[in-house]
Amino acid sequence: MAYSTVKSFSRQPFFDTLISMDSRLATIHQRLIEHYDPNASLLHYRNAFELLIAVSLSAQTTDNQVNQVTPLLFERFPDPHAMAAAEQKDVEEIIHSTGFYKNKAKNCIGAAKILAERFSAKVPHTMEELVQIPGIGRKSAGVILHHIYGQPAIIVDTHFGRVINRLAMSSSKNPGIIEKDVSRLIPPELWSSWSMTANLHGRALCHARNPQCNSCFLQDLCPKIGVKNETEPVL
């Protein structure tokens, strides 16, 4: 594997006095995969269709909330053909607790119709095709590409973006720019692994408010960009 060295970041005093950017990223990744499983999925699913629907429902809610409604949803509508023929009000009733349920129900049915009509009821395996499906943006498409097809994907959600900002791997809050910045720094074969483990790190320690820097196994490698309140270690 080969990391890219980014000159603009390497001028920062933190990196000049510590280790080079590529060594730093390799060490961070090594520690991340020692602590988190890159293949872990917080959403429950049994096949590509179920993951596509689950990930579209996960917008603006928790994975746990989605996992509570999908067993009944998939029992009633187990495949694209069944979901495409569903009454919107029946889907709305089941997914109500995930929020934005009218829009999400519309997207579930719309996605199922496209799968049935254009993709032989199969979930496509390219970013270009996936983002044409209602309710599926680049983040959701990346989740499907990684978990279902084992393809490299940079999956930028709020947790990943925050960790990447604090590690000085991107100074942007824009998901598209973060994706580009990270793609220049990290070799493609590690995109998914970085995505999943940095996401889990954001959930576990690098919280939006009060990140647990004093307990963090990346502390010696992290410039903590934008961090104001470091929480004391939990004893």
- Residue 33 touches ligand SF4, criterion: CB under 6 A: no
For ligand SF4, the binding residue among 218, 228, 232, 234 (CB under 6 A) is 218
Give me the half-sphere count of Cα atoms (radius 13 Å) on the Cβ side of residue 97. Answer: 12
For ligand SF4, the binding residue among 166, 168, 190, 200 (CB under 6 A) is 166
- Residue 76 touches ligand SF4, criterion: CB under 6 A: no
Active site residue 139: yes
Confirm if 139 and 196 have CB atoms less than 8 A apart: no
* CA 14 to each of CA 10, 19, 28, 225: distance values in angstroms, whole numbers, following the listed order: 8, 9, 15, 11
For ligand SF4, the binding residue among 224, 228, 229, 234 (CB under 6 A) is 224
User: Interface with ligand SF4 by CB under 6 A: which range of 1-9, 45-53, 181-189, 218-226?
Assistant: 218-226
User: Interface with ligand SF4 by CB under 6 A: which range of 37-45, 61-69, 123-131, 209-217?
Assistant: 209-217
- Residue 31 touches ligand SF4, criterion: CB under 6 A: no
Active site residue 157: yes
Close Cβ partners of 175 (under 8 Å, ≥ 6 residues apart) = 138, 139, 156, 161
d(CA 38, CA 87): 37
Query: Catalytic positions, please?
Result: 139, 157
